[in-house]
Chains A and B, each alone.
Chain A
Amino acid sequence: MKITKETIKSPIKPTWCPGCGNFNILRAMYAALEELALEHEDVVIVYGVGCAANEADFNRIYGLHSLHGREVPNAIGAKLANHDLKVIVVGGDGDLYGEGGNHFLFAARGNHNITMLVHNNWRYSLTTGQASPTTPQGTVTKTTPEGLIELPFNPLQIALTAHATFVAQGYAGNHKQLKEIIKKAIMHRGFSLVDIVQQCITFNKVQDSAWFKEHVAELGEHDSNDWQAAFDLASDDRKQIQSGIYYQDEAILAYHEQIDCLKAGSMVGQWQDSVDIGKVIEDYV
């Protein structure tokens, strides 16, 4: 059955704070899936742990609600087992850049055909508002009472240097653009990162909705084939964020396309009712 904005809703109503940016991102993802006319059973969403990942319960779709930070390797495994599936990762900034940071780098450099939707609110919110990898330096939180010492993680530049082939900046407050970015990311040949900035109305009082409205603008004219231009563009000082597709390279084969035995079809599809290990045994005679 084709996904629609209604059929994908589970009986469980979202438990996010009223006004949370997650609502906007979820709505944009639903719209993207509907417009792509994908079947329910052909999409898998792998969730980490956090406010964003809690949407596992709100979606009626094949899902794997993973551990904190581990959704990326789960997604890679699922894709390698059945590359006919569209595999989407949903997590937060703490989830995917902190706990799962290493997995993110390796997914990018492998050009695994998975889509990472990072709900980036610059805070750990499910654990009530500690600093995350993207929190600006100097920010006072419960765990950084003297102000955060570390400099913020730059997801876009990191993805670019890790050879990601699709890198985009989304904004929860721009539904139309976000929906289009997500569509392109899902249909992209290889690894796609969509970092989506969003407000956390409860634990981030500094970058609230008004702040984002003021500081986010759509990316103007830009050649998304130009890696260096994308890299330079991504070096924003977090005072002015430009949303849009920074970089895309469709020429590079996805990881699974380079695995010999997957050329005959997915591993799931290649299952057979018998196996012959005679050729393996030969080497040990």
Chain B
Amino acid sequence: MSISQPFSFNWKIAGAAGHGVMLASKLMAKMAKRHGLQSFNYLEYPSLIRGGHQTGQVYADFDNGSCQRRALDAIVIYTQESFEIHADEITDKTVIIYNSDFGKLKDEYLKKWGKQIHEMNLSTWAKAAAGTSLAANVVSLGVTAYLFGLDPKICKEVVADELKVEKLVEKNKVAFDLGYSEAEKQLKPLMKITAQKDERILLNGNEAIGLGALAAGLQFYSAYPMTPATGLLHFMNEHKHKLPVVVKQVDDEIGAINEAIGAAFAGVRAMTGTSGGGFALMVEALSFAGTAEIPLVILEAQRKGPASGVPTWTEQADLQFVLTAGHGDFPKVVLTPGTVEEHFKLAQQAVYLSEKYQLPVIILSDKYILESHQTMPKPAEAYQLERYSMVADKDLPADESYLRYKDTKNGISPRAIPGQEFGLQLTNSYEHNEWGFATEDETAITKAVDKRARKMKTILAELPQPELIGPEKADITFVSWGSTTNVMLEVVKLDTKNRVNAIHIPCIKPFPIEAFEKLAKSAKKLIMVEGNSNGQAEAWIKQQTSIKMDDHLRRYDGRPFYAEDLLEYVSQQK
């Protein structure tokens, strides 16, 4: 990175559903990535198909762009209400591009921001260039590219790669060019970004989970559509022919998890995904997978609850529910990845752990990161795969003495699957003996429960450990899990005085007691930061460890935390 070029930009587009806001925002994030910037694309949208208020915002940085930022360098506005909704993000330096095809601006806005507002007939230009006013979003990208000094050639390559269909690409390239040339007439560039080497990919949390699961040899995905897990179902359908993988939309979430269980029983690596409400329906089968020792991966994609809640907004309030989900005592793992890259890695890990330990592994994430695009280093393309805890044909005794639930030292019983001649077995939701037959015998019951419980001891050494982000010593140590960690990365980056660090928890059950206590004990002041109203992780940590937080910050209005707010909190501390 040359010193003369700017460090970052922060851009937003605001309109209604149907204006192509989300597409424009994703294109912008990708254009930034192709210039070598690390970018983050955060989307806000209502639960409807037309109308309402919708935004996309891209924060891109040569250093690290791990979350959305508040103060905007530029904003493209379609709908006038945006001026009020986003007033706190508009500074006296923000360039405001208003699509004047959406009516005469209110005097109060002109009075307040007149010098910064550039009225442009984006829709009219789009119609002239591409034959449809719908291309106004791409016109606005042309304007933005000029404003940020982006390379139009690189930008148009992104348009071509994303829109794919030749006719559409050509029209939109013309739309982009028109926006760029009109901007040349009216605006001065804010910066000049010189493209650097780009070795990253851009994807959202759902796509990263999908990619990770496929890299781990996933062969079966069944789900019922529910925001914000639907993206994973779409991802699987988009790519299923390349791997291959069977992807199935099922009658309901009960069917979805039970089909995955059936597939896993028959021998493939299987996964299902849903949000809190759907997960509530899956809980019965979760307990089945636990006791029957079915390898199963489940994405629980949190959204703002409870009940139907606020479907397209974020929250971290399903934690306690997920931790305790399932009737009876059985082992399970709950992973809580932070960055998109970690979603990729932990999805791989989840598939591996579920097969090796024959148990359900839940990936607990949320709308914020599952639907936000973030750059990550391009991963390897080829992966060696191995089967775990399964019994080979040659190792099955011909005298038919194979035991599906053999009582072993580490709790793992090698698994035979249908089709293996000497592996006959009953996989059972009832408490069972070593063959798999149901049992009510007191000794056999205790033995079976203990055997399964032993797996949780064996697995500890393989689980992702809590991680310290930022300087080793700091005045304030934030504690976060899941998506909130993306904000922590930004906080630590912005804190030039080394006042803050953060502990990220990527696996919350079983809780990494020792490693967490070690990190927490060297902290001066521990502040729990999480997206729910009743401090669910804080309570869990208190229950699991000797650690008590000094304070907490909680957000439960459907919005993610902002680094700026956390730093403001830090600056208020003595």
Contact = CB atoms under 8 A, between A and B. Distances in A.
B379 A281 contact: yes
Given A57-B437, A271-B219, A274-B384, A65 B263 contact: no
A272 B385 contact: yes
Contacts of A67: 258, 284-285, 288, 429
B214 A277 contact: yes
B424 interface: yes
A60 B400 CA distance: 11
Contacts of B466: none
A103 B263 CA distance: 16
Interface stretch (B78-86, B265-273, B509-517, B538-546): B265-273
A143 to B, nearest CB: 22
Interface string A209-225: 00000000000000000
Interface stretch (A70-78, A132-140, A145-153, A198-206): A70-78
A78 B262 CA distance: 4
Contact of A76 (B262, B267, B424): B262
A239 interface: no
Contacts of B425: 62-63
A78 B428 contact: no
B246 A82 contact: no
Interface in A179-232: none
Nearest to A58: B437
Nearest to A82: B266
A7 to B, nearest CB: 10
Interface string A1-35: 10000000010100000000000000000000000
Contacts of B262: 46, 64, 73-81
B284 A273 contact: no
Contacts of A70: 254, 258, 284-285, 288
B261 A74 contact: yes
B232 interface: no
Contacts of B248: 80
Interface in B88-105: none
Contacts of A56: 426, 428, 438
A237 interface: no
Interface stretch (B39-47, B129-137, B199-207, B499-507): B199-207
Interface in B425-447: 425-430, 436-438
Given A77-B220, A77-B258, A281 B378 contact: yes
Contact of B420 (A41, A49, A84): A41
A158 interface: no
B419 interface: yes
B166 interface: no
Interface string A261-272: 110100110111
Contact of A78 (B245, B379, B418): B418
A77 B424 contact: no
Contact of A102 (B220, B252, B384, B437): B252
Nearest to A66: B429
A60 B424 contact: yes
Interface string B198-227: 000111000100010011010110100000
Given A41-B420, A63-B436, A64-B262, A274 B385 contact: yes
A86 to B, nearest CB: 10
Given A106-B250, A277-B211, A281-B379, A77 B266 contact: yes
Contacts of B245: 261
B108 interface: no
Contact of B268 (A44, A81, A105): A81
A39 B260 CA distance: 25
Interface stretch (B54-62, B168-176, B235-243, B486-494): B235-243
B306 interface: no
Interface of B: 201-203, 207, 211, 214-215, 217, 219-220, 222, 238-246, 248, 250-252, 254-256, 258-268, 270, 284-285, 288, 292, 378-379, 381-387, 417-421, 423-430, 436-438
Given A77-B260, A268-B419, 5 more contacts: A1-B421, A74-B258, A82-B267, A262-B246, A271-B267
5 contacts: A12-B437, A66-B288, A273-B385, A275-B383, A284-B201
